[in-house]
Chain A
C-alpha cells in the first residue's frame, strides 16, 4: 500500500515548463483513467494549479518503481521531452509524499506563504477525482487528512490570516472600519494593473457596488465590463465622491488628484460618513493634509507596504506551529496506514496457518491409528484454538495500541518474516 507522488512546482520548474505540464479538469480525468488502465496506478489524483502539477497515486504493487513510470507518462501525456522534464520533477514515496501533500494543503509549500486558495484547489481536485472514481480508500483517507490539516492550520495559526499584498492589505484595512464589504461601495480611480488587483480583492470580499473612473474612458469601460462596475466620467468629483465608502487611487499624475478642499466638500455632502482612501499612486494622488479630516482614513503605498512587511514576519513566525500540525497528522495517517496493512497481514497469516494445520494433520494425525475419530476431532479443535490464540490476541493488541504500531516501524518486515513472496497480500 505504497503512496507515490510525482510533480513539479514553482521552485523546481520555470513558468514555461509549468504551463506545458498543467492539467485542465478534463485532462486530469483522462490522465487518471490512462494511469489506471495501463496498470501504473490503482488509485490516482491529479492536483494542478498555476504553481504546481502533481500526481498522487497508489500503485497496484508495492515497489519503489512506480515513479519512473509516472515520469514517462507525464512526458508522453504532455508531449514534453523526458530530459527537459526530469530536471524539474520531484518524486516522493509514503511518509514524504504524505508530508508533502499536508504541507501543500497548509499553504507551507506555496509561493505566497500561507495563501488561502490552495486549500480550495486541493478540495476541488479531490472532489473531482472522487466523483470520477479515480480515488480509493488510501487516497480518500490521505486527502481528507490533507483538508483537515489545511483547515486546522488556518484556524489555529496565523499563517493565513494577515494580508500579504498591498491590495489585500488595503481591503482588509477597509474592513476594520466598515466590517463586511457586501453592503459597501468603492470608487476606483485609474485602471492600471494595481487597480485591477484591488478590484479583484474587492470583488472577492463581495463589494456591493463598484464605480470606475479613468482618464481613458475606453479602459474604464473595459474594466467595468470585466468586473461588473459602473463608469463615472473623469472629473465628476461631486457625484463620484458622494456615495463610495472606499476610494482606491492609482493614477499617474504629477500633482495630487484629490485635494483636501475637494474631500472636505465631499465629506459635507455625504454627511460625514466614514471614507477610506487607498492611495496607490506614485507620486501620491491624495493630498497628505486630507488625512486630518474628520472620519477620513488615508493610507498610501508606503503605509500598506509596511503592513505587508510586518505581516510577512508574523506569518513566518507561525511556520513552526503549522509544521507541528502537519507532523501530527502525518503520524496519524501513517498509523492508520499501518493498521490497515496489519489487517491484510493478519488475514494472510491466518490463511497460511490454516494451510499448515491441514498439512500437519494430514501428515501426522492421520497416521496415528490408535486414535479414534472423536479424539482426532478433539486434537484438531485444540490445534485450531492454539493457532487462534497465537494469532488473534497479538493482532487485536496491534489494532488497539497505537504505540505498539508505532514501534513496529515497518510492517513490511513482519510480512517478510512470516510470509513468502507468493503469499503476500
Chain B
C-alpha cells in the first residue's frame, strides 16, 4: 500500500509509452487515444505519489533533488498533455514519455536527501520554484520537438524513410508545437523569476546581490525570446531555429547542472 501510487504511476507511464509507440509504429488510432488516457491517469497517480512523498518527508516536493526531479517529470507530463490536446497531435508522445518515465523513476527509486528545511517559505517562493520548474519542463519539450523536427526533416530531405515518417507530425506543426512550449516556458520563467526577485527583496531587503544563477537565468530568458522571434523569420525558420532551440536547452542543462552548484541561494532549479 505504501508504494501504491509509485507503482500505479510507473505502470501508467510505461503503458502510455508502449501505446504511444504502438500508435507511432502501427498507426492504430485507438492505441494513441489509450496512450493519452493512461498519461492522464499517470498524472493523477504521480500527483498522489508526490503528495505521499512530501507527507512522508514533511516537506515540499522540491525540497531535495529527487523530489524536484519528480515534480519536473510531473510538470513535463502536464505540459505535454496540454500541448497534445491543444494541437491534436499525439505522435510525439513516444518521444516525450521516456523523459517523463526516467525522471519519475530516478526521483522515486533514489534515497531522499536529508537536508535541513530551507529558510524559504511562503506562496511567492512556492510559485517561484514551481513556475521555474514548469519553465524548464516546457523548454525540455521544445527540445524534444526540435529533435524530432530535425530528424524528420533529414529523412524527408534524404528520401530515406520507412513507415514512421507517415505518422510523425508535419514539420510546420512541430515548429508550432515547439514555439508553443517555448511560450509556456517564457511566461513561466518570467513570472517565476519576478517572484524570485520579490521574495529575495523581502528576505534580504535588497534585490541585487550577486548570484550566478541570476545572470544565467536572464541569459536563458533572452535566448528563448531570441528563438521565439527568429523562428518566425525568413532566414531562421525551420532547421536553423530548431538547432538554436537545442542549443538553448544545453544552456538550461548548464544552468541546472553547473550554475546550480555555484549558486548559494539556489539548490536545484
Contact = CB atoms under 8 A, between A and B. Distances in A.
B238 A176 contact: no
Nearest to A184: B172
A173 to B, nearest CB: 7
B243 interface: no
A158 B237 contact: no
A261 to B, nearest CB: 18
A78 to B, nearest CB: 42
Interface string B219-261: 0000000000000011101111000000000000000000000
B170 A176 contact: yes
B206 interface: no
B159 A294 contact: no
A305 to B, nearest CB: 12
Contacts of A270: 234
Contacts of B172: 177-179, 274
Nearest to A163: B166
A173 B163 contact: no
Contacts of A156: 28, 30
B157 interface: yes
Contacts of B237: 271-274, 295
Contacts of B159: 299, 303, 306
B176 to A, nearest CB: 9
B235 A274 contact: no
Contacts of B156: 173, 176-177, 297
B153 to A, nearest CB: 9
Interface string A167-193: 000001101111100000000000000
Interface string B154-166: 0011010001011
Contacts of B163: 158, 162, 314
Interface in A123-169: 155-156, 158, 161-162
Contact of B157 (A161, A172, A273, A297): A297
Contact of A176 (B27, B29, B171, B235): B171
B171 A161 contact: no
Contact of A274 (B27, B166, B169, B171): B171
Contacts of A162: 163, 166
A364 to B, nearest CB: 64
A299 B161 CA distance: 13
A368 to B, nearest CB: 69
Interface string A22-57: 000000000000000000000000000000000000
A67 to B, nearest CB: 40
A179 B174 CA distance: 10
A294 B166 contact: no
Nearest to A172: B166
Interface string A271-285: 111100000000000
Given A156-B28, A303-B159, A178 B238 contact: no
Nearest to B235: A272
B28 A294 contact: no
Interface string A207-244: 00000000000000000000000000000000000000
Contacts of B168: 176
A176 B161 CA distance: 12
B26 interface: yes
Contacts of B28: 155-156
Nearest to B155: A176
A168 to B, nearest CB: 12
A113 interface: no
A291 interface: yes
Contacts of A306: 159
Nearest to B152: A176
B173 interface: yes
A177 B165 CA distance: 11
Interface in A283-335: 291, 294-295, 297, 299, 303, 306, 314
Contact of B234 (A175, A179, A271, A291): A271
A130 B172 CA distance: 44
A271 B173 CA distance: 18
A39 B240 CA distance: 73
Contacts of B170: 175-179
B238 to A, nearest CB: 5
Contacts of B26: 158
Given A178-B170, A179-B170, A274 B238 contact: yes
Contact of B166 (A161, A178, A291): A161
Interface string B1-40: 0000000000000000000000000111110000000000
Interface in B124-173: 152, 156-157, 159, 163, 165-166, 168-173
B221 to A, nearest CB: 27
Interface string B29-54: 11000000000000000000000000
Interface of B: 26-30, 152, 156-157, 159, 163, 165-166, 168-173, 233-235, 237-240
28 contacts: A155-B28, A155-B29, A156-B28, A158-B163, A162-B163, A172-B166, A173-B156, A176-B156, A176-B165, A176-B166, A176-B170, A177-B170, A177-B172, A179-B169, A179-B173, A270-B234, A272-B235, A273-B234, A274-B172, A294-B238, A294-B239, A295-B237, A295-B238, A295-B239, A297-B157, A299-B159, A306-B159, A314-B163
Shortest 3 CB-CB contacts between residues of A and residues of B: A271-B234, A179-B170, A272-B234
Given A161-B166, A175-B170, A176-B165, 12 more contacts: A155-B28, A156-B30, A173-B156, A176-B168, A177-B170, A178-B170, A271-B237, A272-B237, A291-B157, A295-B239, A297-B157, A303-B159
